[in-house]
Amino acid sequence: MSSVFVSEEFRAILSWKGEPEEVQILVNTLKVDDPDSFIIESIILDDENAELKVTVVSKSPSSLRSTVDDILTCLMAAKSTLSTIEFNEEGHKEGN
């Protein structure tokens, strides 16, 4: 009797473009999550633009979706915080 081992992997690649400082903050935010479940790449495109690529690999579609949802939630929370900080800094500068 022979057996066949079939390993299926499900993969998703998330991409986020922004300023290099913003991308670096988002990278650092994701590093504290669950770094074994995805691969992070930060690519500097030029002085004003960078790209964050997150590759998620899972053995099941449901696990892939769960990890992608977690990453998107984390990125959106970090982006929201960055926007709030930028807004407060601009308001403070104008008030001086």
CA distance readout (Å), 58 to 7, 12, 29, 54, 83? 11, 9, 21, 13, 32
Q: Is the pLDDT of residue 60 over 70?
A: yes
Report pLDDT digits (tens) over 67-86: 999 999 988 888 888 888 76
* Average pLDDT for 16-37: 82
In this model, does residue 31 exceed pLDDT 60? Answer: yes
Domain covering 10-95, topology: Alpha-Beta Plaits (3.30.70)
pLDDT-based confidence at residue 50 (cuts at 50, 70, 90): very high
Q: Tokens 């479940």, residue?
A: 37
Spatial contact of 12 and 68, defined as CB atoms under 8 Å apart: yes
| Residues contacting 18, CB < 8 A, separation 6+ | 26, 49, 50, 52
Nearest to residue 29, comparing CAs of 57, 70, 88? 70
The full set of domain ranges for the chain reads: 10-95
Residue 35: pLDDT band (50, 70, 90) is low
**Percent of the chain surpassing pLDDT 90:** 32
Is a pLDDT exceeding 70 seen at residue 87?
no
